[in-house]
Chain A
Amino acid sequence: MTSVSSSSEFHHQHHFKSADHQYASSKQGIWLFLCTEILMFGGLFVGYLIYHSLYPTVFKNGSETLDWKMGAVNTVVLLVSSFTMAAAINYVQRGLHKIAAVMLALTIACAGAFMVIKYFEYSHKFHVGTVPGKFSLVDPSCAAGGKRAECESKISALLKNPAELEKNHVSTEEVTRLKAVISQPKWEMFYGFYFVMTGLHGIHVVAGALLIFWVFIKTLRRKVGPEYYTPVEGVGLFWHVVDLVWIYLFPLLYLVG
């Protein structure tokens, strides 16, 4: 973009008839893109549905080992961020740049908080050995193709060692749950889904935060305003979809079981 006077700053691109025309086209574009996002997660949801029906006990036990409190806090964090994002769009539309920037900063803060909570959740999972299939094994030769039945999982090794339990902050309640999990064959399946679904969602949260940072800068520089707020709205829509996916992931993984 060339640095021209602020009046032509909001001028529409040469191939559109008017600013409204450009806005309508951009809106259609972002909605189409969001459809593809939903479809991509849809593949995972289909897979989840199939395996949940195949191994209901595995999913129930696996689900019980997840910390629903952390998930619930994260849900609230994302819902708040949805609100601040929507408010930011509203303030940009009304030309209130300062408060809009504050709202965008809050949204980024929420995204950060979400990822921090996720980090604690993940790291605890790694400590107790509830990790995707290949890494759930203690003996590397098992991962390289040994008979799985003869291999011992990280969890069962952990459960045999009280000192380790202490070190990893595993409560007696959690021990019961972990034992219930590994008593089932194919228990790794649940964590496969858990990590792929929340991992892909986490990548979207990070991407969303970066995009919000981009419109945050735009807002500070007054590149957006009442005449032109397409990027803020587009990023906002993306962010709402990221929230929406979590709204489905949370009950599916943490609550339904």
Chain B
Amino acid sequence: MSSAQTKTEHGHTDHNYLNHGSGIWSWMTTLDHKRIGLMYFATVSTLFLIGGFFALGIRLHLAKFGATPLLDPDTYNKFMTFHGAIMVFMVIIPGIPAFLGNFILPIQLGAKDVAFPRLNLASYYIFIAGALLSASSMIFNQVDTGWTFYTPYSTAKTSNGVILLVMGAFTMGFSSILTGLNFIVTTHKLRAPGMTMDRIPLMIWALYSTSIIQILATPILAITLLLIGAEKALGVGIFDPDLGGDPILFQHFFWFYSHPAVYIMILPAMGVISELITAFSKKTIFGYRAIAYSSVAIAAVSFLVWGHHMFVSGQSTLAGLVFSIITMFVGVPTAIKLFNWISTMYRGTVTFEAPMLFALGFMFLFTIGGLTGVFLASTGMDVHFHDTYFVVAHFHYVMVGGTLMALMGGIFYWFPKMFGKMTSDLGGRISWVLIFTGFNVTFFPQFILGAMGMPRRYFDYLPEYTNLNQISTVGSWLIGLGFLVGLITIIHGILKGEKAPNNPWGAKTLEWQTTSPPPHENFTTTPTVTAGPYDFR
């Protein structure tokens, strides 16, 4: 940045990061974390629409049993794979950290930018490259393995598209590592004067814990994906029983990343919820330290529970027992958070704007998702529920009901800060009602279907499952409609929204102390922090 630009910036009070430099090129080459955050927003939203298209395709197909009304079995498997891979690797994992995190983290810390702005931009382009590489498998050589790429099917039987998809995921993992690294260094090194570690907002604690998981777990995924690629291309034999390898080793490697990855998805969401609950209750958060440390605790425990994905893989009873018990430990820090949120609302001045509705939706849906997780963590019950729609319902409740709810809440909450404009609160509420209702209509019946024994990933089912599947399909369209309304509300807000005040919600964290939208360097003068982040009373 040349010094000339900085001077003009301070000369004009209406100068903000959105009009700091204009034209598409100034966005493409920006080093500003806020702009990079918005670029992730646009990218992830686009990918979400593509992933959603596949989801609706799957549900529409399953609306009718028997003859194949929409998709042939192969196409169904491909739809299912792309829905899963896009939603997991390209939407839910980067969604909150890369988009909201990038935008919020430096401002909440009182920093001018993340520690490594160039690296931040590089992570974005690496992500784009990875997404394109993965997406190219949709065009050239479709994959039908499911997003988990289980061996030996992925290495011995299916098309070479697996190589494209896993190398794309590998590349996106690189981006994830670099973003996490950037956040950790930023949190350690760039806090404003007076902002000690026990004064950082809970969103930061959540992102910090997430970053630790990203740094520690993603390399394992990287090597696993490289091995899958090498196995497919060269037949190295590490996962191939014919050459002495072990397909189960793949599952160990895969879940050693992918279970912690579940917390890469949910921890930032919990951070968002902590911010929303305290802001819309107008009350200091209850149990700041408990919530903060429980994030770190979840991160730590997340590495010890991967074996609960493998109860029926033939691992020893003792291993199953140990993994079962440790898995249930995750419930403790999670419950700590939930009870603290409820205690925060108790005797608070709670208002129900759209972001708060999404926060409450999160608490409701995530609780159901979490409690059904206990079923699956119990070895005996898991044998019955394994690979049924019960599992599908469970992780959709956690990932969609949890992460996407929080993401929507976070978007509506920070929207005024991002664009300097307000969204229509009514639009947000309608969107919430549709998503929340649609979500329960879609996925609650799947718990019942799973308990009745309908297996997951099948392109057809027995006639007795018809009614519940049809209800589920109707629900999926409600969700789609809800997100459409949300999208329209957001676009309408960007184009026609009223001008937002600096602090529309009366929140206390640092990002609300600067202008909406913030100037290029976030604050005109570096703030000094003298108290905790949520001093409402």
Chain A contacts to B: CB under 8 angstroms: 2, 13-16, 21, 24-26, 28-29, 32-33, 35-37, 39-44, 47, 50-51, 54-55, 58, 132-135, 143, 148, 185-186, 188-189, 191-193, 195-196, 200
- A29 and B116 contact, CB distance less than 8 A: yes
Known: A40-B222, A43-B220. A143 touches B235 (CB 8 A): yes
Known: A133-B234, A133-B235. A36 touches B215 (CB 8 A): yes
Chain B residues near A33 (CB, 8 Å)? Answer: 177-178, 181
Please measure, in the bound complex, the distance between the C-alpha atom of A26 and the C-alpha atom of B115, giving whole angstroms.
8
Q: How many A-B residue pairs lie within 8 Å, measured between CB atoms?
A: 129
Task: Determine if B218 is an interface residue (Cβ-Cβ < 8 Å).
Answer: yes
Q: How far is the CB of A159 from chain B (nearest CB, A)?
A: 20
Task: Determine if B10 is an interface residue (Cβ-Cβ < 8 Å).
Answer: no
Known: A14-B1, A14-B521. A192 touches B243 (CB 8 A): yes
Which of B111, B113, B184, B245 contacts A189 (CB under 8 A)?
B245
Chain A residues near B245 (CB, 8 Å)? Answer: 51, 189, 192
CB-nearest residue of chain A to B2? A2
CB contacts under 8 Å to A, within B218-243, are 218-220, 222-224, 226-227, 230, 234-238, 240, 242-243
- A14 and B112 contact, CB distance less than 8 A: yes
CB-nearest residue of chain A to B216? A39
Name 14 interchain pairs, CB-CB below 8 A, sorted by A: A14-B1, A15-B190, A25-B115, A25-B188, A28-B189, A29-B116, A33-B177, A36-B219, A41-B223, A43-B220, A43-B253, A51-B238, A58-B244, A132-B236
Known: A32-B185, A200-B226. A54 touches B244 (CB 8 A): yes
Besides A25-B190, A135-B234, A148-B242, 10 other A-B contacts (C-beta < 8 A): A29-B181, A36-B218, A43-B253, A47-B227, A47-B253, A51-B238, A186-B237, A186-B243, A189-B238, A195-B236
- B243 and A188 contact, CB distance less than 8 A: yes
- B215 and A134 contact, CB distance less than 8 A: no
Known: A25-B189, A29-B182. A193 touches B220 (CB 8 A): no
Q: How far is the CB of A165 from chain B (nearest CB, A)?
A: 25
Give me the 10 closest cross-chain CB pairs, A-B, nearest first.
A134-B235, A186-B244, A192-B236, A43-B223, A15-B112, A39-B219, A40-B219, A133-B235, A132-B234, A133-B237
Please measure, in the bound complex, the distance between the C-alpha atom of A15 and the C-alpha atom of B111, giving whole angstroms.
7
CB-nearest residue of chain A to B220? A43
- B181 and A32 contact, CB distance less than 8 A: yes
Task: Determine if B453 is an interface residue (Cβ-Cβ < 8 Å).
Answer: no
- B185 and A47 contact, CB distance less than 8 A: no
Please measure, in the bound complex, the distance between the C-alpha atom of A35 and the C-alpha atom of B223, giving whole angstroms.
14
- A44 and B223 contact, CB distance less than 8 A: yes
Please measure, in the bound complex, the distance between the C-alpha atom of A14 and the C-alpha atom of B220, giving whole angstroms.
35
CB-nearest residue of chain B to A43? B223
Chain B residues near A13 (CB, 8 Å)? Answer: 117
Q: How far is the CB of B118 from chain A (nearest CB, A)?
A: 9
Please measure, in the bound complex, the distance between the C-alpha atom of A212 and the C-alpha atom of B273, giving whole angstroms.
45
Number of interface residues of B (CB under 8 A): 44
For B166-196 the 0/1 string (1 means CB < 8 A from A) is 0000000000011001101100111000000
Which of B178, B235, B242 contacts A135 (CB under 8 A)?
B235
Q: How far is the CB of A130 from chain B (nearest CB, A)?
A: 13
Please measure, in the bound complex, the distance between the C-alpha atom of A55 and the C-alpha atom of B218, giving whole angstroms.
29
Please measure, in the bound complex, the distance between the C-alpha atom of A7 and the C-alpha atom of B235, giving whole angstroms.
56
Q: How far is the CB of B419 from chain A (nearest CB, A)?
A: 23
Which of A14, A24, A43, A185 contacts B224 (CB under 8 A)?
A43
Chain A residues near B230 (CB, 8 Å)? Answer: 132, 192, 196
Max chain B CB contacts within 10 Å: which of A26, A133, A185?
A133
Task: Determine if B46 is an interface residue (Cβ-Cβ < 8 Å).
Answer: no
Chain B residues near A196 (CB, 8 Å)? Answer: 226-227, 230, 236, 238
- B242 and A40 contact, CB distance less than 8 A: no
Q: How far is the CB of A3 from chain B (nearest CB, A)?
A: 11
Please measure, in the bound complex, the distance between the C-alpha atom of A195 and the C-alpha atom of B240, giving whole angstroms.
16
- B116 and A134 contact, CB distance less than 8 A: no
Max chain A CB contacts within 10 Å: which of B2, B185, B190, B222?
B185
Task: Determine if B6 is an interface residue (Cβ-Cβ < 8 Å).
Answer: yes
Chain A residues near B238 (CB, 8 Å)? Answer: 47, 51, 189, 192-193, 196
Please measure, in the bound complex, the distance between the C-alpha atom of A32 and the C-alpha atom of B188, giving whole angstroms.
12
Chain A residues near B215 (CB, 8 Å)? Answer: 32, 35-36
- B1 and A37 contact, CB distance less than 8 A: no
Please measure, in the bound complex, the distance between the C-alpha atom of A29 and the C-alpha atom of B6, giving whole angstroms.
27
Please measure, in the bound complex, the distance between the C-alpha atom of A83 and the C-alpha atom of B169, giving whole angstroms.
36
Max chain B CB contacts within 10 Å: which of A21, A29, A195?
A29
Which of A29, A37, A189 contacts B244 (CB under 8 A)?
A189
Chain B residues near A186 (CB, 8 Å)? Answer: 237, 243-244
CB-nearest residue of chain A to B211? A32
Task: Determine if B197 is an interface residue (Cβ-Cβ < 8 Å).
Answer: no
- A132 and B244 contact, CB distance less than 8 A: no
Q: How far is the CB of B157 from chain A (nearest CB, A)?
A: 9
Chain B residues near A55 (CB, 8 Å)? Answer: 244
